[in-house]
């Protein structure tokens, strides 16, 4: 496979892992706030998110530190994307509550 094409694929996997990790964190916080047992939500989510992310990084890197950095770049960019999405969604919910 072409090296550039593989690098793009690694970047996309990094985006997916970051979206899964930070999106899962956002959902966990929202669910745990209304749960009777928030500790189970936080610990279960932590182990699941970290486990999937570490396995993803391990398999994508394939022993090459450049692949690891490209995947990490996608992971960090996904953090900002999820953060922007969460702010927008929460802001819309607050505006809807004010209207009603």
Stated pTM of the model: 0.86
Q: Is the pLDDT of residue 79 over 90?
A: yes
SS (H, E, C) 25-53: HHHHHHHHHCCCCHHHHHHHHHHHHHHHH
Q: Is the pLDDT of residue 41 over 70?
A: yes
- Give dist(CA 30, CA 86) in Å, integer: 11
Query: Contact, 21 vs 53, CB < 8 A?
Result: yes
């Amino acid at each position: 496979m072409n090296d550039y094409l593989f690098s793009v694929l690694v970047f996309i996997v990094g985006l997916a892992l970051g979206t899964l990790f930070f999106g899962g964190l956002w959902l966990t916080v929202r669910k745990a706030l209304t749960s009777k047992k928030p500790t189970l939500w936080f610990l279960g989510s932590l182990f699941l998110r970290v486990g999937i992310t570490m396995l993803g990084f391990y398999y994508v890197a394939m022993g090459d530190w450049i692949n690891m950095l490209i995947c990490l770049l996608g992971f960090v960019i996904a953090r900002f994307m999820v953060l922007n999405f969460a702010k927008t969604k929460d802001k819309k919910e607050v505006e809807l509550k004010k209207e009603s």
